[in-house]
Amino acid sequence: MLDRVYAPLTTPRGYLAASVLFHLLYCLCALDVYYKSPLESSGEMRPHRSSLTPLAKRLVFITLDGAPADYVFKASQRDLLRERDGGKGNSGKPTMGFVHELFEEREDVCWGVTHTHVPTESRPGHVALIGGFYEDPSAVTTGWQENPDKSFDTVWREASRVWQWGAPEIVQIFKGGRNDTHITTTGFPESLNDFSGDPAAVDEWVLEAMTRFFNETAPANPALDAELRGDRTAFFLHFLGMDSAGHKYGTGGEGYVETLAHADKCLRGVVDAFSSFYGEGHDRTETAFVITADHGMTKRGSHGDGSPEETRVPLIVFGAGVNERCNAAPRKIRRPSPRNSDKPPFPAGGDQKYPETPPFSPAGESPAKMDPRASGIHFWDEAFASLEAEEAYVETEWGMRADDRQDLEPADVAMLMAGLLSIPLPKHAEGTMPTGYLARDPRVRAHAILSNVKQAHERLRSASDLRKSRSALFNPWPQTTAAEAKVDAIQQSTTGPAQNHTWVVEEGPGVVKLLQTGFSYYRYYDYSFMAAAVAFAYTTWFLFSLTLIACLQEGAAGESGQKEYSGFGLFCGVWVVVAVVWLRGMPLLKAGYMLAPLCFWPVIVREAAATRRFVGASVNAWHGAASVLAVLVVTAGFYQREAFSAGLGAFGVGLGVVGNLTRRTCGPPEAGLSKWLALALLPGFCAFCGLFTLLPCVGSLGAFTRLVAPTGVASALVAGAFASYHPSISTALFLTPCLLLFGASILVVYTDHLQATSQGLPLANRLAAWGCLIAALALPRFNTNVVGKLPYCLVCLQIPMVILSVGYEPLLLLVLSVLLCTAHAVYKADLPVPALGTALFFLVYFGFFATGNIASVSSFDLPSVYRLQTQFDKLIMGALLVFKLWIPLLAVLCAVQFMVEGLQRMFSVVAYAVALSDIVSLFFFLSLRDEGSWKQIGHSISCFVIANLLTVILLVLWGLSSVFIGPKPSSVKQHPS
């Protein structure tokens, strides 16, 4: 019976399907283990809010999408453009003139830097700002566009009435539940979100829609007018223009600065519109304004990672209920001093770290040193040499007074908005009430922090009750009793007979932190069990892959019917897992995570002898050393791309040494002079390929964009020369792909010229680009010639690469193609399975990292798809960007297909590469972090996810390469490339 169950796994299709499902499943499982959603760890909760009169009747929340703090607070436009103009500068006119007027003319302005979390994308950023919690990384499966759990609470759901204007995909996040009828949403037309148009058009639309609402719609509707003048109302305006301009121009382009200046005009227009409707003085007694951003932007126009440019965004709060302590003395904007004129917005290097604070201040310790959010001490970014250096930069470059700065985290902004309106805090919020932004009255601040303490205590209680109801063996949080006592002390000191509001303000944030620590205890209650299960699963699949290779090599798979698998061990293992799951109260899905690896152990145990024989006979010392070296280089390459350069150098030397030692590969020189010449050139081609991981990432240097079309033309000429030189190949055979490559190169130049002159993307250009791409992918299937099929396929892959490239990517594919064709000409099908599997494993990872870094979200440069699609469509653009990343990998798979004779042998090669990749995945799983800087946490997540997905991509491309190649020679050895 068990033989019939396991038999499909020994076939290529069965192994491919099972391996893909396994790696996707345990990738999600690992994210669930380390980064469990806070929504899943809590049950029903009661709302809590300040019992005092609202500090503000209404709140206006504005987000400048994609606005780094440095570009909003910078004193003059000249400094933003100095680098682009070669140091000559511009007019010196303040870009954000209205923002700087606020600081000059008002006393009730508080400001700081909001430190966003990775991934620095729009949806997670807005959820943190309005919902008060950070989305779990498993939301990456929806492209950070949708949270897996839609039931999260937000500030808007607690407000009495909300109006929203902005991008549809953002404003719709906070509307859609059954209790959201009080939220009115207006999104701009999708046609405006076109990267070939004016980025400021979307901001202009939002401002006009909001102004028309106040000037025309509200006066004509008395009921609506009454709602607008009610208490606890909120307005949300999302300005997308800076994000669009950043993707189009980069933050160093004049177009970005112009959009920044237009955003400043929109801010002035919003304040003027509210003053016109509510009357003069409303912004001091009734209305509070909060201005911030969801994420920043890099100079090359991307975001998603944890660099300071992406995580540091502005925060400006003014109006009713805001602390008047900040900016008490009038001042003028100071121009940057000449000695600092050439400093970059943020010095390179260093991770963003925040000071660690204990839950309670020791006796005699100033509270200002303990809690930066309550005291106004800002987070020091270690990109600066010292705290003093950062403060000097703020005062000289921003023209701002460093003493006034109060930095927050995104979730703290949600608490601030709820505190200003005196509405219930979002139930799932993870922030701390920033009392330094609230009015200076200690009573007001104490009641605000009390509501925060109650909300955090409610989360802890809910998580504890939920875990206790599920588990037969419940272990409560060890500090539960001490935390309860501190909550009671805060309650008594705020509302009891012996009130001490100042003490509550000083100690309250520490109590909130302590309660959040308790919540984390229940959130990661099953961490140790699940971490061990995931590590066990990866070890199991590694051994299972080696077992299948051994069976295929020895033919043991064909004899398996003569033996019987023992089900006793599997039976016992299943019952042990069931007992653990029941006692711990784990969900059934986690039981599946623990049970799945047990299913493969009967095969591993029974074929252990065959596996040992395979390892002893086929994996000699050279192959073992090469495999270990490849794993080490790939692992190091996740941190430093330069490691691949050293690895390729060793790879080239190894190919040369093996070829010279193995005379049967080439025979004597007189028997095949061209093969000996190719063998001599292999190390040089490997070294040439290694240069690409020494270059900057694609998109970081604009000069490389000029290589796209010339490289396409050069590739066509190389292909034509190869066809003319080879005596067995007809030149006419390569005519069609070469002409398509020439046409694609010309089309790239013409389309880029049209877009550079703001003429958009004509329909004819778009259709021509799509036609070239589709034709290139279809041509190999119609080529029935067995001679020169590999270079023919590689030329066809160069066509979509040229269309989708913005830098040196086509040159990489050209050099990689020459290397693959040379290796094919020398070795044919003579390399053993471990050698080919190691080469496949290494080159797949190299192809992925050759043009970028960790390939996280910000590596997906939207300009790559502008020749095919300019109107924003996340499905089409995302698919094209992923396809572009796959092209070098597909080239490697095609070459290996031609170097392997027989499906079973190819099966073994892929399984060996998967086994090596699982070692890398296991290493990064054990390296996952849920503490430290957010850049470090984000990098550890990215490494693990990339390692898993590359394994899945390798398996998928194995199948797609067979479809792409079409008919293949029946005998690889007799058909030269």
Nearest Cα to Cα of residue 293 among 100, 137, 61, 75: 61
Nearest-5° angle of CA 788, CA 791, CA 797? 140
Residues written for the chain: 977
547: buried, middle or exposed (CB in 10 Å: 19+, 13-18, 0-12)? buried
Q: What tokens does 304 get? A: 């998603």
Q: Count CB-CB contacts under 10 A for residue 602.
A: 20
Most confident of 89-93, 351-355, 423-427, 648-652: 423-427
pLDDT band per the 50, 70, 90 thresholds, residue 656: low
The pLDDT value given to residue 450: 95
pLDDT for residue 369: 32
The per-residue pLDDT for 336 is: 30
Question: Three-class SS of residue 431?
Answer: coil
Q: What confidence score (pLDDT) does residue 354 get?
A: 29
Give the pair of three-digit tokens for residue 651: 């790879």
pLDDT at 458: 94
Task: Tell me what the pLDDT averaged over the chain comes to.
Answer: 79
- Beta-strand relationship, 161-166 and 312-319: unpaired
Q: Where are the beta strands (DSSP E) in 377-478?
A: none
Q: What percent of the chain has pLDDT over 70?
A: 77
Q: In this structure, what DSSP letter does residue 395 have?
A: I
Say how many CA atoms lie within 13 Å of 82 toward its Cβ.
19
- Find the mean pLDDT for residues 856-867: 61
Give the confidence band of 232 by pLDDT, cuts at 50, 70, 90: very high
- Does residue 373 or residue 801 have the better pLDDT? 801
Name 184's bridge partners. 163
Least reliable range by pLDDT among 465-469, 473-477, 865-869: 865-869
Q: In what order do the strands lie in the sheet with 233-239?
A: 109-115, 312-319, 287-292, 58-64, 233-239, 161-166, 183-187
Q: Residue 893 corresponds to which tokens in the numbers above?
A: 């798979």
C-alpha 919/C-alpha 174 separation (Å) is 42
At position 682, the amino acid (one-letter code) is: L
Beta-bridge partners for 459: none
- Band the pLDDT of 335: cuts 50, 70, 90: very low
Cα separation values, 800 from 49, 748, 959, Å: 57, 11, 20
Max mean pLDDT range (71-85, 478-492, 781-795): 478-492
Task: Give the span between the Cα atoms of 378 and 674, in whole angstroms.
Answer: 67
Burial of 489 (0-12, 13-18, 19+ CB in 10 A): middle
Cα distance between residue 729 and residue 430, in whole Å: 67
Predicted confidence (pLDDT) per residue in 460-474, tens digit:
999 998 888 877 778
Q: Which of 304-313, 538-547, 670-679, 834-843 has the lowest mean pLDDT?
A: 670-679
Q: How far is Cα 105 from Cα 330, in angstroms, rounded to an integer?
A: 7
860 token code pair: 């997906």
716, 668 contact by CB (below 8 A)? no
**pLDDT, tens only, 787-824:** 678 888 999 999 999 988 888 889 999 999 988 888 88
What is the full DSSP assignment across 473-501? Answer: S----TTHHHHHHHHHHHHHHHHSSS--H
Res. 649 pLDDT band, cuts 50 70 90: confident
- The DSSP code for 378 is P
Tokens of 958: 């194995």
Region 766-776 average pLDDT = 90
Separation CA 207–CA 201 (nearest Å): 10
Confidence of residue 5 (pLDDT cuts 50, 70, 90): low
Q: Band of the pLDDT at 372, cuts 50, 70, 90?
A: very low
User: How much helix, strand and coil, in percent to the nearest 5, is found in the chain?
Assistant: 65, 5, 30
pLDDT at 108: 87
- Decide if 58 contacts 319 (C-beta within 8 A): no
Task: Catalogue the E-assigned strands of 834-960.
Answer: none
CA gap 884, 968 in Å, rounded: 24
Residue 744: name the closest of 718, 776, 722 by CA: 776
Which segment, 1-10, 78-87, 454-463, 741-750, is predicted with the most confidence on average? Answer: 454-463
Res. 363: pLDDT tops 60: no
Question: Which tokens go with 386?
Answer: 């010292």
Selection from 216-225, 568-577, 739-748, 805-814 with the highest mean pLDDT = 216-225
pLDDT digits (tens, 9 = 90+) for 166-210: 999 899 888 766 667 899 999 998 888 777 778 899 999 999 999
Question: What does the DSSP assignment read for 99-164?
Answer: HHHHHHH-SSEEEEEEEPPSS--HHHHHIIIII-SPPPGGGGGGTTSS-S-TT---HHHHSSEEEE
pLDDT at 679: 66
Q: Please tell me which residue, 337 or 525, carries the higher pLDDT value.
A: 525
Given this model, what pLDDT does residue 263 score?
A: 94
Rounded-to-integer distance, Cα 505 and Cα 351, Å: 30
Q: Give CA–CA dist 951/965, Å, rounded.
A: 21
Selected residue with higher pLDDT from 214 and 613: 214
Between 659 and 615, the higher pLDDT residue: 615
How many helices and strands (H and E) does the chain possess?
38, 7
Does the pLDDT at position 36 exceed 70? no
Supply the pLDDT for residue 414: 96
The strand pairing partners of 313, in sequence order, are 114
pTM: 0.72
Q: Determine phi and psi for 18, rounding to 5 degrees.
A: -65, -40
Q: Which DSSP category does 408 fall into?
A: B
Look at residue 86 in the predicted model and tell me its pLDDT.
45
Average pLDDT over residues 876-891: 87
Mean pLDDT over 926-949 rounds to: 74
Element (H, E) at 233: strand 233-239
**How many other CB atoms sit within 10 Å of the CB of residue 567?**
12
Alpha helices in 166-288 (DSSP H): 168-171, 200-212, 222-228, 241-249, 254-278, 282-285
Classify residue 198 by its DSSP letter. -
Q: SS3 sequence, 335-372?
A: CCCHHHCCCCCCCCCCCCCCCCCCCCCCCCCCHHHCCH
